[in-house]
Amino acid sequence: MPESKKEIRSSQDKISTIPEDISIVMAVYNHESTVAQAIESALSQKMPYTSVIYCLNDASTDNSAEVLSEYARIYPDRVKVYTSKENLGSGKKSFLHHRPPVKGRYWCLLAGDDYWTDSSKLAKQISFLDSAPDYVGCSCNSIVKNEVTGEESLIEPSRNIWNLLDLLLLKHKYAFYVHTTSIIWRNIYIQKGSFLPPEFKKKYASGDVMLTHMMLMTGGKMKNLPEVMSCYRYTGKGVWTSLSLKEQSERNARLEKNIYRLTPLKYKIYILAQALRRKFKVLKNLIQGPINE
């Protein structure tokens, strides 16, 4: 719980009519014991950029609402709270239901039970994306705290630059997965009224892996900063972690089919043309391929 006396953190606390540089969207459900740390890790970012945290409380039954309400009271210009009347069951449903007014040049997701471990995380990522317009996202390495076993591990991709074709063609050769908490995205769909890709509204489009593919379907690249700057708590109570191994395997099989289903035609053509691209060097400039081939 924050102190009752408002702290002076930065110029971001001043009232401003200018849209934030980065919008932080936080899905919250029964995160009473962790959400304060999540919010504090966002408020304490040291950067020359402004931010707003949009907290979506999915009808929590614990004291999450009280914690969020106190932060919104102390930081009215930086913490906005939206509460569901009844539990919607997922972060995606909360995003689509509340439609928070994400106005930042960049946006990111930070769940109420995760947090950032480096106060310069956003500054480093925004600085990179400001200097690299051909990149749509920037991630970092994440530590995993398994609260069931007490063990810690690391989420670290084996390559630090990739595009959509890397994900589609080289997923069995290289590890490209980065945790959602680690990523910030360029707000490329702002003119369409949502920070999410329009196709993400489809019923079969869900999950962080699907979202990553869809954001890269515009042709932009992903950059990973090889530093540990975020933390993912594994509690065994999440939507994914509560599934059995069999259920997870079945969902993964459906996910691959649905990703291909949503992949634009030009990328399907690129996939079919890769053999020709490798055989004839002149085609390398005409047919897009993976970065890590």
Which DSSP string corresponds to 255-277?
HHHHHHHHS-HHHHHHHHTHHHH
pLDDT of residue 15: 39
Tokens of 6: 């408002």
pLDDT of residue 50: 97
Q: For residue 247, what are the contacts with CB-CB under 8 A and spacing of at least 6?
A: none
pLDDT of residue 241: 61
The three-class DSSP label of residue 234 is: strand
- Is 281 exposed, middle or buried, given 0-12, 13-18 or 19+ CB atoms closer than 10 A? exposed
pLDDT of residue 245: 75
Number of domains in the chain: 1
What pTM, to 2 d.p., does this model score? 0.89
Residue 203 forms part of a structural domain: yes
Helix or strand run (H / E) with residue 72 = helix 64-74
pLDDT of residue 235: 82
Residue 291 forms part of a structural domain: no
- How big is the CA angle at 183 (ends 225 and 132), to the nearest 5 degrees? 60
Beta strands in 120-171, from DSSP E residues, in sequence order: 135-146, 152-155, 161-162
Domain of 109, in residue numbers: 18-285
Q: Which residues in the chain land under pLDDT 50?
A: 3-16
The closest of 109, 75, 102 to 230, measured between CA atoms, is 109
Residue 4 forms part of a structural domain: no
Distance CA 57, CA 70 (A): 14
Q: Which is it for the CA torsion 87, 92, 98, 103, positive or negative?
A: positive
Distance CA 132, CA 21 (A): 16
pLDDT of residue 17: 54
Residue 129 forms part of a structural domain: yes
What number of other Cβ atoms are within 10 A of residue 266's Cβ? 11
Residue 1 forms part of a structural domain: no
Q: What is the pLDDT of residues 37-51, one digit of tens each?
A: 999 999 999 999 999
Distance CA 282, CA 174 (A): 26
Q: For residue 47, what are the contacts with CB-CB under 8 A and spacing of at least 6?
A: 120, 122, 123, 126
Bridge partner residues of 223 (DSSP): 138, 161
Contact call for residues 230 and 182 (beta carbons, < 8 A): yes
pLDDT of residue 247: 73
Residue 293 forms part of a structural domain: no
Q: CA of 162: how far to CAs of 42, 50, 220, in Å?
A: 27, 28, 9
CATH number at residue 238: 3.90.550.10
Residue 222 forms part of a structural domain: yes
